[in-house]
Structure 1
Amino acid sequence: MKHIKETIKQLESYIPESTKRPDHHSFWKRTLQEARKNSLDEKLVEIDYPIKQVRVYDLSYNGFDDTPIKGFYMLPREHQQKLPCLIIFHGYMGNKGSVSQYMKWLIQGYAVIAVDVRGQGRSGDYSSYASDGMGSWVVKGILDKEDYYYRKVYTDGVRAVDFACSRPEIDAERIGIMGASMGGGITLAAAALDDRPKLAIADMPNMCDIPLMMEQKLEGSLTIVENLLHRYPEQIELVYDNLTYFDNLNLSASITCKTRFSVGLKDLICPPQPIFGVYNQLQAPKSMEIYPFAGHDMNIIEHIDKTIAFINENL
């Protein structure tokens, strides 16, 4: 136990230096303005779902470059007042899953938007990436920050907030965003780029203190970036520079909403120190759940129950 306490103390004292470039804020301001020039063109098609206490829609809305982003829009069938809303993003190479997995929120009176991230699940990707030689999303367009996959993914996340705020049945003052791994990284970025969410829950988030995360991780999507740089070492400086715009270390300074993180101290994909690096410099109200023997998996009974309680208390 002493070793665990010492490890946590070291993590809590880790303060990395920002790598934010001078045009960071103008880059993202311009990005969101560009995306919002076009209509969301949202489409809802009701699904005849076997759990009759909920109303379920296939959702489509236009993301960064008019790519239709797919998802579920789910509501309690009976409701009298405007609803709080949770926007949920999945992990890398995942999808939004089944309607049934969101019942713990729907039965309590939350609306839920479950998003299939661009290029994954049922969402396509209209972008033509100038650099796309490694066959995985994390390196698509990585040689040009204007073209990079995560520029579009983060913007798609903000557009999900736009959709939620457009719905008359949603209380725009009670929107929470959440996700794990890639979904946790998107959650932090969306909370940084949009001040409307009241709550953000980021479990073992990726894209945190990226240079350190690349150095410490043993598995996961960032290994593909390393493979790219192994093949093309002349691109190292350019890639590291571009990644600063998408690193939650630099984005999260703009977060104003209450934010909860979680880490597993044995996580080989999103190791704890880079996540603590983001957490420690965050100025918004915050908390951290630490699981000493967890890896890259927060499917822990205690953690699930804590998450339910945390959201009920704060949203």
Structure 2
Amino acid sequence: MPLFDLPLAALREYLPTLDEPADLDKFWAGTLDRARTAEVLVEVLPVETGLSLVETWDVTFAGHDGAPIRAWYLRPAGIEGDLPVVVEFIGYGGGRSEAIEHLLWPTAGYGHLVMDTRGQGGRWGSRGDTPDPVGSGPAAPGSMTRGIDSPETSYLTRLMTDAARAVDAARALPGADGRVAVTGNSQGGGLAIAAGGLVPDVDAVMANVPFLCQIRRAIDLTDADPYQEIVRYLAVNRGREAAVENTLRYVDAVHLARRARADALFSAALRDMTCPPSTVFAAFNHWAGLSGATPRKDIEIYPFNNHEGGAATQNMVQLAWLRERMPVAGLRNPGPAPTPSTPAGRGASRA
């Protein structure tokens, strides 16, 4: 895939003018207030996985409007003290899969809450377990356009509310010390950004090649799914463009990024046709712009990669980055952190 977006120098300076709805904060405050009328933890059940070094629980918590959302909770076995928790959100089309597929963070010494994605889990991985109980009108195949004619009915509103409530759930888990980091790839990265804006006292945000950023630009810039689900919907539902664009203004992760306060680590791939790099930089460059906070923000750049981004290389960067911000007392020091920008062809930007 050739380079197709702005040059890297322009990406670093890219700060698009945003069209936020005037009642964005009121809308999200009301949405989260309604969700929070339900007790967040519904059920936490131990699960036998056959692993001796990681303990696992099957968690159900209350998401948007109190709907039950499934999750896995994993911790390093034999640790009696409370631990910080890394909340992970899943990429588009996937579900929480099997618990044994999520060993990175618990083996690094953290608690790990893996949120299932309502109504997804049928495209890759090992399934999802959470239905989306809310109906919708006509929609294109996939999840993007469910209820898209209104922010109140939009699937993305429900999903972002679930993500914010996952942070609430992580703080209430047994063995959690209250510190929470959020992370994810693609859709999961967009949800991590959204959670960082909707729950601005999270401790750290790690968003890899994030989806759901500057959505309107992405629709025009790439012909890849999932953004093209919106194009196919509007190609049939002529005359609904204004309503759809209005909805997208409420669920654009760039608007929520401006409200964040936590340190953030992003990654972008310059040949990414699924989440174009300029849309990622829009969120990164606008990070914390409205909050009055001055957090540290870093972005890892992969010039020769498509939507796979940095893959395991980025995981190593994340481990070192998070260890500085959420150290775990009593665990063996894993040694010097790798220098993120050392490998050839990559570069880190910090602000």
Q: TM-score, normalised by structure 2?
A: 0.85
User: Which residue of structure 2 lines up, in the alignment, with residue 152 of structure 1?
Assistant: 158
1:3-29 Cα deviation digits (max 9, x unpaired): 99x921011121111111110100000
1:185-212 Cα deviation digits (max 9, x unpaired): 1100011000231000000111111111
1:30-73 Cα deviation digits (max 9, x unpaired): 00111111222521221111111221111111211332111111
Name which of structure 1's ranges 131-140 and 233-242 shifts more when overlaid on structure 2: 131-140
Counterpart CA distance in 2 for 1:277 and 1:298 is 17
Amino acid in structure 1 at the alignment position of 2:296: P
Counterpart CA distance in 1 for 2:32 and 2:312 is 38
- Are 2:96 and 1:100 equivalent residues in the alignment? no
CA RMSD of aligned residues (A): 1.7
> Which residue of the other structure, out of 215, 220, 238, is the alignment partner of 2:220?
215
Amino acid in structure 2 at the alignment position of 1:10: A
Counterpart CA distance in 2 for 1:105 and 1:125 is 28
- Are 2:311 and 1:300 equivalent residues in the alignment? yes
Contact kept in structure 2, 1:66 and 1:126, CA below 8 Å: no
Amino acid in structure 1 at the alignment position of 2:29: K
Offset at residue 124 of structure 1 (A): 0.8
User: Which residue of structure 2 lines up, in the alignment, with residue 136 of structure 1?
Assistant: 142
Contact kept in structure 2, 1:86 and 1:112, CA below 8 Å: yes
Counterpart CA distance in 1 for 2:85 and 2:99 is 15
User: Which residue of structure 1 lines up, in the alignment, with residue 272 of structure 2?
Assistant: 267
User: Which residue of structure 2 lines up, in the alignment, with residue 245 of structure 1?
Assistant: 250
Counterpart CA distance in 2 for 1:92 and 1:253 is 23
Listed as ranges, the gaps of 5+ residues in structure 2 are 121-127, 289-294, 327-351
User: Which residue of structure 1 lines up, in the alignment, with residue 134 of structure 2?
Assistant: 127
Residue aligned with 1:139, SS: coil
Counterpart CA distance in 2 for 1:229 and 1:311 is 41
Contact kept in structure 1, 2:20 and 2:255, CA below 8 Å: yes
Contact kept in structure 1, 2:269 and 2:277, CA below 8 Å: yes
Counterpart CA distance in 2 for 1:47 and 1:261 is 33
Counterpart CA distance in 2 for 1:66 and 1:111 is 24
> How many pairs were matched up?
310
- Are 2:69 and 1:85 equivalent residues in the alignment? no
- Are 2:208 and 1:197 equivalent residues in the alignment? no
Counterpart CA distance in 2 for 1:229 and 1:124 is 26
Residue aligned with 1:65, SS: helix
User: Which residue of structure 2 lines up, in the alignment, with residue 227 of structure 1?
Assistant: 232
Offset at residue 105 of structure 1 (A): 1.8
Amino acid in structure 1 at the alignment position of 2:94: G
Q: 1:308 to 1:101 in 2, by over 3 A?
A: farther
- Are 2:36 and 1:36 equivalent residues in the alignment? yes
Q: Which runs of 4+ in 1 moved over 4 A?
A: none
Offset at residue 108 of structure 1 (A): 2.6
Counterpart CA distance in 2 for 1:280 and 1:56 is 37
Offset at residue 287 of structure 1 (A): 0.8
